[in-house]
Structure 1
């Protein structure tokens, strides 16, 4: 044991490679200079060859130059790199197995007696000499003749070599194809190599690519230059039609609305395409394709530009669907429509023809085939389709439409009726083709006998019959269709046509009959039928339907009043005013004294009815509710054009409401408008005695001021203040009378006393301050407003007036300081924001401040008008008009808004638009607004109408 070396001192085994068990490999290269192992020596190679030859019993391989290639293929002739390997038992076993495989393959080939030729898929037939191949069935010895076997193998190898060379000649490798070009590279000089361009970076992410894009220049189209030239020009008219069009200088019209619609359509198609491509999964089989889904996608593809790849993708999908289920007609139809979309009508016709062969019982595919072909071919196709589908009504109707003359159409329809005698659609087509009324009536009579359950046929027959026979037809139809309420409505309309709509209670009998049959429709359905009758001109039938059915099924506790009001509003919103009028009439028969229903009915007649219908409703209202003065006043106003009738109405109102101040003032206004000053003065005197209210006294003072009797007005206002010292308008009128008389000190005293008596009245403070400012006493005006702000702390009007005083006094910095304080206390005041935007800030900051104000203040008419004025100044006329109309929707009682809008339309609007605004202003009768009240309350403008006041205010706006 002591003589044995330790493990590290022992020599390494033969063919040992360090680290081989851990995955390392040993190799030797020509460039290695160092510890790499040397290859086997010549002696080792010869010894290995001799050993291998002895073991296999083979002769020594010939050293021939032509066998170099086979040397590396034959495992028995291993020389060179593998000659120094150890031949182990597993190598011997592997060689034996491969030898058996070769022998077995040789025996399989020997079954052919003669090998005369060989076939190659690329080279065709290659003739070879006939060589006998030994076989076990030849009757010779079972052992294979070695010489025959070698001869056979040699010929086989020669044949394979020839096939290989021919294949490589016909299919050269890429390296062989470019061999000439590679040799030509030898002549390329260094300068040519240096001048070769760099390869492009298609990713677009490198710095060089970004710089290249920035340095690109393109020719600008003429349309862009023309648009830039016209960008600074202003329009001078407001377009009322709303069409976004532009007329070019060459006479063409550019429709931007259509361009935008087309752009949206293309974008929608592309988005759908992307969503389909991103969500598409791998199809497991052809049966997973949904032809109807493809049909829907094809309809979405219409009108959008599709690439060839998209159409090809759809074509493959639809072909898969057709192949997987050829009996489904939807797949064939979708495939044909795809070809039409791709611009290949011939291919579409061929596809749909094949589909008709596969699905002969589908009427949809036959209809599609008919539509895709011209008239002559379509007739042939329709004939073939009808031979197979004689019961298809759609195919018969389509075949009829293919005919050009009425006679042929009638012939087709009659043949269709022979096969489908109970088809309602065919009978209707046949009746429509008849030009003679009598022939049509005969057809309808025959049709009703064959199809007694068709409501439309019965109604058509009743319309064609004479009135006496029509009643019989309808009675017969009711027996066949006892649950049809349409027949009863038709009977009611017939009686209306005969002038007996109010005499014969057809609808009353209908309700009883249908109730017994348990076929009574819902109340909403009856209202819909009434609206239909109104639309067709049967007003009496409409009223009868509402009268007999509106209360059906409703109890007293079901909120009938609210329900009927909603029904009436719904009909009015749909433009069915006769139905709404009938609903209100029925509701007033149940709730006779309901003020809500009466006001709703009056409002409908004022907006949508005539003057006569409005007067009728008001007469009904004053009879039902004589103590409600609003109905008397409205009736007197409607009869203002006839002073006699108006006086009669007010006289009746006095009898019912003798002490009502509104009636007294309406009578005074009537007489004043008709220039009956003495009668008006007398009525006011009687009113002060019988209805002594502050309004009657104020109207008396105002009437005297309008007549220019300031002394009488002063006496009346002093008397009134003794009775009503807390009435702010009386103090204001007293101060204004003194101003008219140029008695400034007395006017100052009146305002001073008024603010002490009524400190919460903002208008008195404003009049007091303006009086002092007009007298040149700005300090006093400022003091008055300071006292007013103490009395009324958060009044936007007072703060606005104080800021204006400072602005008019050229104290801009003080005005801005006050504005900042005011907006801190009242950030949602539109008047303050408007004052700041228009008068305190430069023009460049207006839009920014306006955006900030609109965020803080919602729906303020003053601020909305300010926005419109800013857009107006920038010549953005359409947007300015939209903002004016938005302000009117927020508050129609603001007269200043109407005046600004009218002033805008005088400059940029049309005559029709101006007249429309004036008419709407008269209808709404605005009463508020800073500039509006100055003109409307001026005694000099007494008696002017709304239109005159509107024009005066618009002319004074700056």
Structure 2
């Protein structure tokens, strides 16, 4: 190991070489955080679990040792010793009663171990003491999540209303309130929540999208949805997500195609423009059409490496006119998960492909890699992974649910295709 850094870090590293942990503790107990981190990194790389634990137990004695308490807890969780982690957090609470991060760690431990009443109690205390800096709004959001899991929707609503009274600029609280009303099929109340939010948070794209979706559920009038999305684009110009929502909302193929052409021009140079190009590929009817589209739009390196475009090409090769190009499709879909392993949608596309065209070993390998990647994002992935009934489900279950949903969507599109022709976006 090279002794990188300067000053105290170098001294701390050499002292560990010469005199071990005891020497570091005796001679450098008051060193700054970076020195302790260097010593801890050394122990993680070259020591044992016991020596690392011993060093962390001393590190937490220095002033404002919040970070080291959390590391100590994490080491016990890695060792699957939940009881010890809980005991450490109790001591940490005593030493740092106002630490938001310690409160959050205690909640997370109980929630992830399905101890919901314990989690609820911790959050109630945290809300009462967490009035200062940091991100205290998290405590109201997490509290609402626990009540949702427990099925107490009245308390969930009360907490969200209380949180919004304190933090009306936090769009996620508005979003959670709207989603609660949607789950209860109170669509008018959901719309009111989203409309209130866009007044407080006009630059929140998720809120505009949610408002457009709930308007579409309430009314079959496309003009209402168009007006919402036009206003959203006026407040947030050149945003690909808002343009894409507009294209998806259109029922008429000519209108959708025309709007997509405008979107690609308006968002030229915008971050995340690839989602528009990817959907254009999905909309295209023939291989000639989408290959021309790709070659005329992918002008820069960023778009050439956009995972949404890569995945869309892989899917087209998978299903284009029924003539699957297996080897090419596999290359493109694998490339998508390599570029963006945190997006669950891409893993579902690849897994669905391998279930149809791959061997058992290839299927198992995709599943293994997906579990290792622990994806958290994706337009299709998140609605499933964040559903109340899936809050503690492993990645494998979410992946299989999404593949099933994709297959149902594909069957529905095929039925529409038989009735209406090629266009079925």
| Range class of TM-score, shorter chain | 0.7 to 0.9
Match of 1:793 among 237, 247, 255: 237
Of the candidates 370, 373, 398, which is equivalent to residue 949 of structure 1?
Answer: 398
Aligned to 1:286: none
Quickly say closer, same or farther: Cα 1:687–1:824, change in 2 above 3 A: same
Deviation at residue 613 of structure 1 after TM alignment: 5.1
How many pairs were matched up?
A: 378
Contact kept, 8 Å, 2:116 with 2:146, in 1: the verdict is no
Aligned to 1:934: 383
1:745 pairs with one of 177, 185, 188: 188
Instruction: Tell me the equivalent position of 2:418.
Output: none
Decide whether aligned partners of structure 1 residues 840 and 788 sit closer, same or farther in structure 2, where only a CA change above 3 A counts.
Answer: farther
- Residue of structure 1 equivalent to 2:259: 818
Q: Quote the offset at 1:616 in angstroms.
A: 5.7
> Is the alpha carbon distance of 1:657 and 1:826 closer, same or farther for their aligned partners in structure 2, counting shifts above 3 Å?
farther
Of the two structures, which has the highest relative contact order with CA contacts closer than 8 Å and spacing of 6 or more? Answer: 2
1:923 equivalent to 2:372? Answer yes
Shift of 1:864: 1.4
* Separation of aligned partners in 1, 2:240 and 2:365: 33
Matches within 5 A, 1:445-464: none
How far did 1:772 drift? 1.1
Q: Which residue of 2 aligns with 1:909?
A: 358
Partner of residue 416, structure 2 = none
TM-score by length of 2: 0.78
CA–CA separation in structure 2 for the residues paired with 1:914 and 1:592: 49
Gaps of 5+ in 2: 411-425
Kept after mapping to 1: 8 A contact 2:40/2:52 = no
- Tell me which of 831, 834, 845 is aligned to 2:289: 845
**Aligned with 2:304: secondary structure?**
coil
- Residue 635 of structure 1 corresponds to 75
Assess if the C-alpha contact under 8 Å between 1:816 and 1:840 holds in 2.
Answer: no
Q: How far apart are 1:560 and its partner, in Å?
A: 5.5
In the alignment, does 2:320 pair up with 1:860? no
2:198 aligns with one of 755, 759, 764? 755
Tell me how far apart the structure 2 counterparts of residues 649 and 871 of structure 1 sit (CA, whole Å): 53
Matched with 1:660 is: 99
8 A contact 1:615–1:638 mirrored in 2: no
Deviation of 1:769 (Å): 0.5
Deviations 1:450-486, CA, capped at 9 Å, x for gaps: xxxxxxxxxxxxxxxxxxxxxxxxxxxxxxxxxxxxx
Q: What is the CA–CA distance in structure 2 between the aligned matches of 1:940 and 1:582, rounded to whole Å? A: 51
SS at match of 2:168: coil
- Whole-angstrom CA distance in 1 between matches of 2:48 and 2:314: 40
Matches within 5 A, 1:423-442: none
Deviation per CA, 1:892-945: give whole Å up to 9, x if none. Answer: 222222222222222223333333333333333222211111112222222212
> Is the contact between residue 592 and residue 624 of structure 1 (CA under 8 Å) also seen in structure 2?
no
CA distance in 1, matches of 2:287, 2:48: 54
**Cα distance in 2 between the residues matched to 1:872 and 1:841:** 14
CA 1:633–1:791: 2 relative to 1, 3 Å: farther
Equivalent residue number for residue 886 of structure 1: 335
Residue 696 of structure 1 aligns to a residue whose secondary structure is helix
SS of corresponding position for 1:765? helix
Q: Distance in 2 between matches of 1:649 and 1:913?
A: 43
**Partner deviation per Cα, 1:786-835 (whole Å, 9 max, x = no partner):** 111111112111110001001xx1x2222122211111122351100011
Aligned CA distance change for structure 1 residues 924 and 613 (closer, same or farther; 3 Å):
farther
The answer to whether structure 1 residue 679 and structure 2 residue 152 are counterparts is no
Please give the residue correspondences for 1:276-355 in structure 2 after superposition, counting only pairs within 5 Å.
none
RMSD (CA atoms):
3.4
**Cα deviation 1:398-426 (Å, max 9, x = unaligned):** xxxxxxxxxxxxxxxxxxxxxxxxxxxxx
Question: Which structure's residues are more often helix, by fraction?
Answer: 2
Task: Describe the superposition over 1:116-148 as per-residue Cα deviations: whole angstroms up to 9, x where unpaired.
Answer: xxxxxxxxxxxxxxxxxxxxxxxxxxxxxxxxx
In 2, Cα distance between equivalents of 1:915 and 1:638: 25
- Equivalent position of 1:58 in the other structure: none
Q: CA deviation at 1:844?
A: 3.2
Task: Measure the CA separation in 1 of the matches of 2:50 and 2:376.
Answer: 25
Partner of 1:355: none
Look up the SS of the partner of 1:943 in the other structure.
Answer: coil
Indicate the SS of the match to 1:875.
coil
1:835 corresponds to which residue? 279
- 1:842, CA displacement in angstroms? 3.5
- TM norm structure 1: 0.36
Larger Rg: 1
Matches within 5 A, 1:213-292: none
In structure 1, the gaps of 5 or more residues are 1-545, 565-580
Q: Which residue of 1 aligns with 2:171?
A: 728
Q: Say if 1:659 and 1:592 are closer, same or farther in 2 by CA, change over 3 A.
A: closer
Structure 2 Cα separation of the partners of residues 847 and 909 of structure 1: 25
Contact 1:633 1:663 in 2 (8 A): no
Q: Distance in 1 between matches of 2:397 and 2:56?
A: 32
Name the CA shift for 1:844/1:725 in 2 (closer, same or farther; >3 Å): same
Structure 1 residues 869 and 596: alpha-carbon distance in aligned structure 2, compared to 1, 3 A threshold: farther
Q: Which residue of 2 aligns with 1:804?
A: 248
Q: What is the SS of the residue equivalent to 1:930?
A: coil
